[in-house]
Structure 1
Amino acid sequence: MNFPTEHFSAVLNHLNDGVFIANTKGVALWVNDMSTKQLGIDRTGIIGKTVEELESIGLFTPSVTKIVLKNRETTTKVQTSKGRQYLATGLLIKLENTEYVLVHVKDITETVKASFKLEKTEALMKQYWQQLQEMKFTQKKENDGKLIIGKSKQHTEMFELMNRVASFDATVLLNGETGVGKSMIAEELHKKSTRSDKPFVQINCSAIPETLMESELFGYMKGAFTGSNSKGKQGLVKKADGGTLFLDEIGELPLQLQPKLLHLLQNKSYIPIGGTEVQKADIRIVTATNQNLLEMVKQKRFREDLYYRLNVITITIPSLKDRKDDILPLLYHYLGIFKTKYTRDVSFSKEAVELLQDYDWPGNIRELENTVERLVITSLKNVITLEDLPDKILNESTTAIDQHQQENNLLQLKNQSLPQYMESIEKKLIENALNEHGTTRKAAKSLGITQSSISRRIKKYHLNNLD
């Protein structure tokens, strides 16, 4: 049975949310009944007008339609209209050869008013966005859960630089704190390069003993030394032939081995241990470090000529404390991964998410990933609350709250005279003492003053006399 076309308008007019449809020039084509109520104007004042006109006469701000047409992507904004607040989501819809902008408008005024926080809009937007991110990141899996996630300015600039240099065969040095994801960036450089169909070989220079590092890198011929494999061994340079060799923690490369790496960089050739013939190496070298190599050069712990050969292009990967906007999507990305891995249906409470977002994550993405995995496994209920968070995160947040309180106290002092501020402290101390001890005698004793003194202050500050 077909659904009559004329019934669509009637159905949309029954919605408790507004529906606003415009063309690609921003001209309003159709609105439902709820939309006219939200805007406080009938259809004749809306249809045929551009969103710029409607915005200029104060019907709403900002215009989501205008933003969607500019960016050509789905957009959600908190909109203000007639003193009320709305969550407006706009998207492009293509029907045959014609495009329209559809905006769904939900009244969130009462919900926002109920919010305890002063930043009321942000709190509500965070709640909606968290739900959206959870659905998005649980569904999207690639590279065994390895995604380079981030929309912050710092992350975007780093990612754009990576994309620009990926197709060139130049040597790249990745700089960044421990745990920021240097190996993931190195692998992404390889995937976006012309060598993507060839091997990506990784070695951590700090994980291999100095005595074995040379043979691991360059291999050795049969009978090269006592105890060696009778058939010889192929080194990682050979295994990476045609592709990319990634040397992580390059600052830990033994000083005596650095000239051989320099020779490899300059001449694309090397000699295996025990060998006599030069072997060619068609490889691109990417290195990474969390150390200050230039300072190591000054301290004679790293060769200057090698440093400049490695430092052709430097990409600095920002730490999480410098890109706070990326913490939320990362939290939900790993939550989705570990929910699936451990078949647990868990979610974050609003309070837990806020604390995790405020945390500085000194261990960066690695610490965040490990923390989320632990929370998914150890949480007793289906909602991860403050009680489930590690002491380290809770303690740091307490310190931050104390600091914030001190800042508030200083701000309060700025707005008061010193006598006024001292009186407010005295009043608070007396209130606390009375609440704790129950009588003026005990309260006075705890404060080191006489009972008559505390009685005078109770009268002065209009406090309840408990005796």
Structure 2
Amino acid sequence: MSLHSEFFTAVLNHLNDGIFIADHNGIAKWLNNTSTKQLGLSRENIIGKTVEELETMGVFTPSVTKIVLKTRETTTKVQTSKGRQYLATGYLIKIEGTEHVVVHVKDVTETVKASLKLEKTEALVKQYWEQIQEMKLSQNKETNNKKIIGKSKKHVEMIELINRVASFDATVLLTGESGVGKSFSAEELHLKSQRSDKPFVKINCSAIPETLVESELFGYTKGAFTGANSKGKQGLVEKANGGTLFLDEIGELPLHLQPKLLQLLQNKTYIPIGSTEEKKADIRIIAATNQNLQVMVKQKKFREDLFYRLNVITIEIPSIKDRQDDILPLLYHYLEKFNHKYNRNVAFNKETLEQLQHYEWPGNIRELENTVERLVITAYNNLISLEDLPENIHNKSITTSATTSNKITTLQLNHQSLTEYIENIEKEMIQHALIEHGTARKAATALGITQSSITRRIKKYDIHNF
């Protein structure tokens, strides 16, 4: 069949899309009427020229034909010609026993313009949403006892990543040691998302008996099994509708339930126990684990397809040993919290604070929080001393360099009581934080105390000119 067959020529010339054909050397052999209009040249000015010549002349850019001949693969590119944009797809085919490239060219100028307008509108909406969320978070900061405290590099990098991904509805996997604050991070993601006014529902996969996990997650219908509630039960997935479902300790999810979770992630659908009908779930899923899921996949303890579905965005929550600069703010934050909770007014003495700062905290933030709560409750005096510390912390020696650099000399204590010395330390820390951060609110955040608390101390110590 000839390229100049009258029948096919007539058919191709009636198409609204351009058809451009070049041989294996990139020489233009034929084009339809629409293609001549797209390129703004007659056939006589195109046929016989190479695509490189036409590209140099500015007839189109880039040359899809040239790319196809180089890669020998079907290729689609956005091509520009005479100020308009085209979606050009090139195919390598044989015509009369010789290789040719056939390019199908569709005008997408108006579509691109509409898409850009939509993109700009979406970006503006996203910007307004983020501003509203910042205002809400700022208003709630004083009353939010679960705020994430820290200023270390690792912590700041983690918070920045949380801020970047929170507004996107993608699945997030939180990893890190036990006690690092994965639950707090999950709540932070929810609070900064577009679902913040909807439910945040948490399930700990390791805390529920294996036989009950499915019914807790997906619920069941009336009479689904012996002993079931006669009215059926709403599952946590349904309770989270519109909001966020947080699956803590996801590595403990029974293997036989993992395909059902995969279905929920892929299709946002699930089937309650005893039902045959799929239900839709408008939820965002955040998962967390202190296990290495990749190793579990190799051990056949975790499904590979589920792992990749969960692992869209991974955020590692650093342990305390990787954020030493945050120990002091965390200590003061929880001291303030439990003083208020138990109506006490205790403080750390210098040696105790030094010991706590240099303890390794294998249990991370959870251990630190529980320790401070215990100390606030059990301290004999208003100053928490070394004797008040749990045995495992009290017996942990501080490194020589730390002891030397922070040692209280006899000369220092000759002229002031221990209480006066602690108050001077506290005053210096507050002054330093105020100078470094500029405002009382930011200084309070850095020290891990509330704004009202730092305001009282500023007044108490008569601090000015910061």
What TM-score comes out, normalization by structure 2 length?
Answer: 0.55
| C-alpha distance in 2 between matches for 1:205 and 1:317 | 19
Partner amino acid, structure 2, of 1:285: I
Match of 1:333 in 2: 333
CA distance in structure 1 between the aligned counterparts of 2:311 and 2:391, rounded to whole angstroms? 40
Shift of 1:351: 1.2
- For 1:279 and 1:165, the matched residues in 2 are separated by 27
Match status 1:358 vs 2:351:
no
Aligned mates of 1:339, 1:373 — CA distance in 2: 9
Counterpart residue number, 1:268: 268
Q: Distance in 2 between matches of 1:191 and 1:322?
A: 26
Q: One-letter code of the match for 1:272?
A: P
Shift of 1:396: 2.1
Further displaced range: 191-200 or 385-394: 385-394
**Can you list the C-alpha shifts for 1:357-391, whole angstroms capped at 9, x where unaligned?**
11111111110011001111111111011111111
Q: CA deviation at 1:344?
A: 1.3
Q: Following superposition, which runs of at least 4 residues in structure 1 exceed 4 angstroms of deviation?
A: 400-405
Superimposed CA distance per residue, residues 272-318 of structure 1 (whole angstroms, 9 cap, x where no aligned partner):
00001110001000000000000000100000000000000000000
Note the 1:179-198 alignment, pairs <5 A: 179-198=179-198
Q: Superposition pairs for residues 129-168 of structure 1, below 5 Å?
A: 141-143=142-144, 145-168=145-168
The residue aligned with 2:110 is none
The alignment-based identity, stated in percent, is 76
- 1:60-92 deviation per Cα after TM superposition (whole angstroms, max 9, x unaligned): xxxxxxxxxxxxxxxxxxxxxxxxxxxxxxxxx
Match of 1:104 in 2: none
Letter in 2 for 1:198: K
TM (normalized to structure 1)? Answer: 0.55
1:314 is paired with a residue of what secondary structure? strand
1:216 CA drift (Å): 0.4
- Matching of residue 170 in structure 1 with residue 173 in structure 2: no
Alignment partners' CA distance in 2, 1:356 and 1:142? 26
**Unmatched runs of 5 consecutive residues or more in structure 1:** 1-139, 406-467
The answer for the alignment partner of 2:89 in structure 1 is: none
The answer to whether residue 233 in structure 2 is matched with residue 233 in structure 1 is: yes
- Counterpart Cα distance in 2 of 1:401 and 1:201: 47
Which residue number in structure 1 is paired with residue 396 of structure 2? Answer: 396
Q: 1:295 corresponds to which letter in structure 2?
A: V
Question: Aligned AA for 1:219?
Answer: G
Aligned residues: 265
- Structure 2 matches for 1:30-49, cutoff 5 A? none
Query: Could you tell me which amino acid in structure 1 is paired with residue 253 of structure 2?
Result: L
Matches within 5 A, 1:7-156: 141-143=142-144, 145-156=145-156
In structure 2, distance between residues paired with 1:268 and 1:343:
47
How far, CA to CA, are the matches of 1:401 and 1:254 in structure 2? 48
Q: Output aligned runs, 1:336-347, within 5 Å.
A: 336-347=336-347
Matched, 1:287 2:287: yes
How much does 1:193 deviate? 0.4
SS at match of 1:396: coil
**How far apart are the structure 1 equivalents of 2:197 and 2:402?**
53
Amino acid aligned to 2:332: Y
SS at match of 2:397: helix
Counterpart of 1:384 in structure 2 is 384
Residue 298 of structure 1 corresponds to 298
Query: CA 1:165/1:403 → structure 2, altered by over 3 Å: closer, same or farther?
Result: closer
Residue matched to 1:127: none
1:399-447 Cα distance to aligned partner (Å, 9 max, x none): x459999xxxxxxxxxxxxxxxxxxxxxxxxxxxxxxxxxxxxxxxxxx
